[in-house]
Amino acid sequence: MAETITIEVARYRPEQEGEPALQSYEVPLNKDWVVLDALNHIKDHVDGSLSFRWSCRMGVCGSCGMTVNGEPKLTCATFLSHYAPGPIRVEPLKNFPVVRDLVIEMTDFMEKLQSVKPWIVRQDDPAPAKGEFLQTPEQLDEFKQFSMCINCMICYAACPVYGLDPQFVGPAAIALAQRYNQDSRDQGEQERMDVLSQHEGIWGCTFVGECTEVCPKDVDPAGAIQQYKLAATKEWFKSFLMPWSKQ
Amino acid sequence: MKPSTAYRQYHPKWYRTRVSTLWWSRKWSYLKFMLRELSSVFVACYVVILLLQLHALRGGPDAYQGFQDWLKDPWLVILNGVSFLFVLFHAVTWFNLTPKAMAVRLRGKRLPNVLVAAPNYVAWLAVSALVVFLLTRQG
Amino acid sequence: MAKRSNEPLLWALFSGGGVVAAFLLPVLIFLYGLAFPLGWLQPPDYERTLELVQHPLARPILFLLCFLSLFHWAHRFRFTLYDGLQIKHLNLVINLFCYGGAVTGTVAAAYLLWTLP
Kind of pairing, strands B109-110 and B105-106? antiparallel
**Rounded CA separation A158/A101 (Å):** 19
- Range scoring the smallest mean pLDDT among A103-112, C87-96, C98-107: C87-96
C5 within some domain: no
To test the contact with chain B by mutation, choose from A108, A208, A218, A220 the residue with the greatest count of B C-beta atoms within 10 A, namely: A208
The whole-number pLDDT of residue B4 equals 47
The whole-number pLDDT of residue B138 equals 67
DSSP A1: -
Q: Which chain A residues are closer than 8 Å to B7 by Cβ?
A: 97, 105, 107-108, 111, 166
Q: Are A163 and A95 in contact (CB under 8 A)?
A: yes
The whole-number pLDDT of residue C90 equals 86
The whole-number pLDDT of residue A2 equals 64
Total of domains in chain C? 1
At residue A131 the predicted structure's pLDDT band, cuts being 50, 70 and 90, is confident
Q: Are B87 and B43 in contact (CB under 8 A)?
A: yes
The whole-number pLDDT of residue A245 equals 63
* Residues A183, A187, A188: CA angle, nearest 5 degrees: 100
| Regions of chain B where pLDDT drops below 70 | 1-12, 107-108, 138-139
Q: Are B116 and B104 in contact (CB under 8 A)?
A: yes
Q: Are A161 and A206 in contact (CB under 8 A)?
A: yes
Q: Quick one: which of C69, C56, C37 has its CA closest to C113?
A: C56
Q: Name the residue ranges covered by the structural domains of chain A.
A: 4-104, 107-245
Q: Give the Å distances, CA to CA, from A208 to A214, B34, B49, C15, C40.
A: 12, 9, 29, 15, 37
Nearest neighbour of A232 by CB, restricted to C8, C83, C86: C8
Asked whether residue A246 carries a pLDDT value surpassing 60, the answer given is: no
The whole-number pLDDT of residue C18 equals 96
DSSP C32: I
Give φ, ψ of C107 to 5 degrees: -60, -45
Neighbours of chain A (3+ CB pairs under 8 A): B, C
**Rounded CA separation A45/C113 (Å):** 78
Identify the contact set of chain A against chain C, taking CB-CB distances under 8 A: 160-161, 164-165, 194-195, 197-199, 203, 206, 229, 232-233, 235-237, 246
Question: Residue C99: which H helix or E strand, with range?
Answer: helix C91-115
Q: Can you point out the beta strands (E) in chain A? A: 4-11, 21-28, 65-68, 71-74, 88-91, 98-100, 103-104
**Rounded CA separation C32/C38 (Å):** 9
Nearest neighbour of C105 by CB, restricted to B51, B65, B87: B51
The whole-number pLDDT of residue A36 equals 97
Amino acid at C43: P
* Residues A102, A105, A108: CA angle, nearest 5 degrees: 145
C33 within some domain: yes
Q: Name the residue ranges covered by the structural domains of chain B.
A: 6-93, 102-139
Average pLDDT over residues C74-97: 90
ipTM score:
0.92
Asked whether residue A28 carries a pLDDT value surpassing 60, the answer given is: yes
Q: Quick one: which of A123, A135, A112 has its CA closest to A182?
A: A135
Q: Are A121 and A191 in contact (CB under 8 A)?
A: yes
The fold of A107-245 is: Fumarate Reductase Iron-sulfur Protein; Chain B, domain 2 (1.10.1060)
Average pLDDT for chain A = 91
C1 within some domain: no
**Rounded CA separation A55/A75 (Å):** 11
The CATH architecture that domain B6-93 belongs to is: Up-down Bundle (1.20)
Over the stretch C5-54, which tens digit does the pLDDT of each residue have?
788 999 999 999 999 999 999 999 999 999 999 999 999 999 999 999 99
The whole-number pLDDT of residue C2 equals 43
Q: Which chain B residues are closer than 8 Å to A210 by Cβ?
A: 29-30, 33
Q: Are A214 and A155 in contact (CB under 8 A)?
A: yes
Asked whether residue C117 carries a pLDDT value surpassing 50, the answer given is: yes
Average pLDDT over residues A111-115: 94
Higher-scoring residue by pLDDT: C1, A200: A200
Q: Are A178 and A188 in contact (CB under 8 A)?
A: no
Amino acid at A180: Y
A4-104: in CATH 3.10.20.30: yes
3-state class (DSSP) for residue A228: helix
- CA of A162, closest CA in chain B: separation in Å? 10
**Rounded CA separation A111/A94 (Å):** 18
The whole-number pLDDT of residue B11 equals 65
Kind of pairing, strands A65-68 and A88-91? antiparallel
Q: Are B21 and A160 in contact (CB under 8 A)?
A: no
Domain CATH for C83: 1.20.1300.10
DSSP B111: P
The whole-number pLDDT of residue A247 equals 46
Domain of residue C60, residue span? 11-115
**Rounded CA separation B28/B40 (Å):** 19
